[in-house]
């Protein structure tokens, strides 16, 4: 079974631009969570989608948004990029079964904002 894939793997943008990152979950997984990883703040939860609905959200500004499609693929969008948005963005998929299902992580998208 193929793992979680994320595209693109690397991105360079300038301040003020917007960016869209994509995540394809493992086949059969319906929940997708997004995380931001930075050296200073560590790993922080952005949001979680299930059946095309955002079920949970972290403490990030409204510039960070996401969506999920009927095939469970998910995208996250960051508008009006700031230097501090430079980070590794990880997505993770899980079944879920109602408990704390194992989250399977993708390789991440490294975003650099200049």
Residues that bind other proteins (CB under 8 A): 31-33, 35, 42-45, 48, 50, 55-56, 58, 88, 90, 92, 94, 96, 99-100, 102-108
Of 17 and 110, nearer to other proteins (C-beta) is 110
* Residue 80 C-beta: closest distance to other proteins, Å: 25
Of 44 and 86, nearer to other proteins (C-beta) is 44
* Residue 55 C-beta: closest distance to other proteins, Å: 5
What would the DSSP string read from start to end of the chain? ----EEE-SEEEE-TT--EEEEEEPPTT--EEEEEEEETTTEEEEEEEEETTEEEEE-S--TTEEEEE-TTS-EEEEE-S--GGG-EEEEEEEE---SS-PPPEE---EEEEE-
Of 19 and 90, nearer to other proteins (C-beta) is 90
């Amino acid at each position: 079974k193929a793992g979680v894939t994320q595209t693109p793997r690397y991105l360079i943008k300038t301040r003020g631009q917007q960016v869209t990152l994509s995540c394809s979950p493992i086949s059969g997984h319906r929940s997708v969570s997004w995380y931001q990883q930075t050296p200073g703040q560590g790993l922080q939860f952005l949001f979680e989608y299930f059946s095309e609905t955002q079920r949970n959200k972290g403490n990030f500004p409204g510039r960070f948004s996401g969506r999920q499609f009927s095939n469970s693929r998910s995208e996250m969008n960051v508008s009006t990029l700031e230097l501090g948005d430079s980070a590794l963005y990880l997505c993770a998929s899980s079944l879920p079964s109602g408990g704390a299902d194992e989250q399977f992580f993708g390789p991440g998208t490294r975003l650099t904002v200049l």
